[in-house]
């Protein structure tokens, strides 16, 4: 995969730390708006951008470390949400990187495919444990967030090329 950032140097870990920091800061801004966090899903924006631009390892690192660091530093997200957020971010980053690796034109033109595919996959994984209403709630409440991630992904890919 030619877009992989090898996580072996200090500069690559610094870049990952910046993405994680941005992934923590952005939700704090969106939570200033009532319901903004649930509606805009801001914790996944830089995870998606990192996975699209630097590969699955980078995306997975940001997906796992963002909710964990956010909880440890700011007690947000709530501990009960950390595993769910890690799962969603991990699936999002792996799907995004896999689609980029397949070199599909669709993903390079519209990252919405990644977002929808990831959320469907996570919903199907969660459904047996939490029920359909909770598993697919992001499709109802998080549509603005999915659009935000799509726009951010498009911008990231445009800046990368």
Q: How would DSSP label each residue in the chain? A: -TTPPPTTSHHHHHHHHHHHHHHHHHHHHHTTSTTHHHHH-GGGHHHHHHHHHH-HHHHHHHHHHHHHHHHHHH--S-GGGHHHHHHHHHHHHHHHHHHHHTT-HHHHH-THHHHHHHHHHHHHHHHHHH-HHHHTTHHHH-HHHHHHHHHHHHHHHHHH-
Tens-digit pLDDT profile for residues 5-30: 677 788 888 999 999 999 999 999 99
* Average pLDDT of every residue of the chain: 88
- In percent, the amount of the chain with pLDDT more than 90 equals 52
**What's the rounded mean pLDDT across residues 18-47?**
93
Q: Is the pLDDT assigned to residue 115 strictly greater than 90?
A: no
pLDDT, tens digit (0-9, with 9 covering 90-100), for 85-95: 999 999 999 98
Would you state the pLDDT for residue 97? 85
pLDDT higher than 50, residue 72: yes
pLDDT at residue 49 greater than cutoff 70: yes
pLDDT(103) > 80:
no
Q: Is the pLDDT of residue 69 over 90?
A: yes
Say if pTM beats, i.e. exceeds, 0.85.
Answer: yes
User: Average pLDDT in the 125-134 region?
Assistant: 90
């Amino acid at each position: 995969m030619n877009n992989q950032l090898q996580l072996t140097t200090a500069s690559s870990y610094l870049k990952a730390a910046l993405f994680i920091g941005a992934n923590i800061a952005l939700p704090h801004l969106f939570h200033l708006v009532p319901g903004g966090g649930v509606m805009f899903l801001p914790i996944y924006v830089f995870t998606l951008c990192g996975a699209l631009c630097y590969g699955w390892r980078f995306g997975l690192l940001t997906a796992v470390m963002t909710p964990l660091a956010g909880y440890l530093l700011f007690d947000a997200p709530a501990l009960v949400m950390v595993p769910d957020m890690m799962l969603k971010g991990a699936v999002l980053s792996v799907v995004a990187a896999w689609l980029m690796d397949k070199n599909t034109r669709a993903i390079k033109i519209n990252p919405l495919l990644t977002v929808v595919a990831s959320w469907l996959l996570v919903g199907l994984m969660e459904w047996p444990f939490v029920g359909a209403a909770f598993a697919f709630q992001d499709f109802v409440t998080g549509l603005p967030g999915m659009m935000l991630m799509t726009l951010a992904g498009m911008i990231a890919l445009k800046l990368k090329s």
